[in-house]
Amino acid sequence: MSWKRIIAILICPLLLFFQSRYYFSHAIESAILTNSSIEKNLSLQQCIFASLIGGILSSILTYPLDFLVTKAQDAKNAGKRVTALKSLVKDRGRFWLGIEIRILHVCLTTVVVRTGSDMMYNYLFVKDHAM
């Protein structure tokens, strides 16, 4: 397998997955700030809520690509050329199978990485411990 194919199959989707999690959670945080009377900082609960909603949106948006990456990495397809359209048509009944677990995983990961890292940084390095 060439390096270009490895980058296209493994690295690019991971970048998209993580970037979409940060983008959506940041967009939800911005929407909360613009639609409320809060001046500067969100509460911990609002940050967790924004991360959860951002994780849900990211999961739904990136699930088709994750499905295709999983199909390309399947042991049955070792050494074979896998096309996206054939994989989708062949497994159309099982396409959305397991999305609930993925949504749960992505939501909790987004909360830990996005909100938890801010909380720990503020705890360790900021004197007033504000979110």
89: in domain: yes
130: in domain: no
In three-state form (DSSP H/G/I as H, E/B as E, the rest C), the secondary structure along the chain is CCHHHHHHHHHHHHHHHHHHHHHHHHHHHHHHHHCCCCCCCCCHHHHHHHHHHHHHHHHHHHHHHHHHHHHHCCHHHCCCCCCHHHHHHHCHHHCCCCHHHHHHHHHHHHHHHHHHHHHHHHHHHCCCCCC
95: in domain: yes
The count of domains in the chain is 1
88: in domain: yes
72: in domain: yes
pLDDT tens-digit readout, 17-53: 888 889 999 999 999 988 877 777 888 899 999 999 9
Q: Record the pTM.
A: 0.76
Domain, as residue range, for 91 = 3-125
pLDDT tens-digit readout, 59-108: 999 888 887 777 777 656 666 666 766 766 777 767 778 889 989 999 99
